[in-house]
Structure formats: C-alpha cells, structure tokens
Amino acid sequence: MPPKSILTPKPLVAGNWKMNGTRASLHEITVMGLSYDADLRRNVDLLICPPSTLLYPAATTALGTAIAIGAQDSSPKISGAHTGDVSPNMVLDSGGSMVILGHSERRTDHLEKDALIEQKASSAIATGLVAIVCVGETSSERQAGRTLAVVRRQLRGSIPRNATALQLVIAYEPVWAIGTGLTPTATDVAEVHLTIRNDLKKIMGKQQGEMVRILYGGSVKPNNAKELLSIDNVNGALVGGASLKAIDFMAIAETYRSG
C-alpha cells in the first residue's frame, strides 16, 4: 500500500449483506473475528451490515472481535406511525454504529431522492450513528459522459452540511459495476474519488474534507482489491457479495496487512 499522510483517514472495509443471511450466517462473523488480529486492527476498520433481522444478534456475535455492525438503511423519523421502518435510534439500540444510506438499490427500488437521503443522514448523525452515504452513476449516465456531474449532484444533495469527518463516510459505487463483475479502470476511480475529495473540502472545509473516508464499491473481490484499494483517495471498500463469506471478506481486508 502507498504511504499514508497524517491527514489520510484510517481505511474501512465494510460488508453489505443486502437481503441475504439467516442466523446460521452469523458464523461468518465469528470466523472473521478469528483473523482480525491486533496488527490488522491497527491498519483497517471492519464493518458488517446485515439485514435488520440480524442486527442485534450480529452485534452480539461481534462482541470482542472489534468488528463494527451497521444497518443497511434507517428512517429519517425517530419514532411514530411508520409501519415497517427502522429508526436510527433502533439501530443504535440494537448495537449498530453505522448505517448505509442512499445505496443505488434504495434509490432505484424505493425511488429515494437526494433530499430524503440527506434527511436520513441528518437523523442518523443526530442519533449518534455514522452515515455511509452512497453515490454513483448508471451505465447510461456513464455512457453520456455525466459520471462526475451525477456524483457531484448526489454528493451535494445527500450529505448534511454540518456533518464532521467522524460522522460521515462516502461510498462511490458505480451502479453498472454492482454485482456484475465489471469495474472501472484505476484512472476512472481515481478521477471520481479526487472529485469527491475536492467537493468535500469545499463543503466541509479543508481539514474535515481531507479526513472523510471515501470507499469504493462495485464488484470488489479478493483478486482486484489490491489494485482498487491502492488508488489515491480510496480509503477502503464497500463490499457486497464477497462479504457473505469470511474467507473472501478477510482476503480483501488483508490488503491492508502491511499498512
């Protein structure tokens, strides 16, 4: 890995289990914890975001491993008549410390817009959670040369203006790369992450903007993790399918073994 400056944030490798997993799957977290030793803990933070049904048992399973547990979404509301929703304080009460917001599957399947995601992020942060805000372009947007414009619009519309670097993570996930096995070139990833970094510094101030972790997501696998995680301004990964198995997830985390 390249040398890190004093302003380079500690990397985060986060696993998004999506709508997968039962209680039997929690064994994978136990196995992850066995290889997440003190040396690796110094170099990288680990997070698993299971479905909401597994949030509390996952947090219990992860006790003593230093693996953080998070949610895949949360409501902008704290409580009330919102059947089926999960509030950020419920996530916190269940042992979660982070929450993924604005994932492309939420933006597409549930028609979530930037303004709603900003409201969710504000509520999550106010509750004490770290908001992982996702941005990324579709295939048609990419082909039209609109990648940077789309990402910048989503970023500026989805993050709370008063957030600090400790309360916010950004995940760049090109929609066309999620679950397809396709990935952008290293040059493309570097360009998008630099654009996000520069915008964060403008929005949050230079020092805070430098310290926000920017993750890359979209078909991150053990065989491409080293290249992707070595790119400038890539401070970790948001991992989908490869996070369901401890052997694959930890192989990605091991990229940071040498610091």
> What token pair was written down for 1?
């890995």
CA distance to 33, 75, 87, per residue, from 71 (Å): 19, 11, 10
> What is the residue type of 145?
G
User: What DSSP string runs through 36-62?
Assistant: --HHHHHH-EEEEE--GGGHHHHHHHT
CA distance 99 to 169: 10
Contacts of 165 (CB under 8 A, 6+ apart): 9, 204, 208, 209, 210, 211, 212, 213
What's the rounded Cα separation, in Å, for the pair 259 and 253?
Answer: 11
Known catalytic membership, residue 110 = no
* Active-site residue (options: 28, 105, 112, 173): 173
Q: Is 109 exposed, middle or buried (0-12, 13-18, 19+ CB in 10 A)?
A: exposed
Is 191 tagged catalytic?
no
Catalytic residue among 103, 105, 112, 193: 103
Residues forming the active site? 103, 173
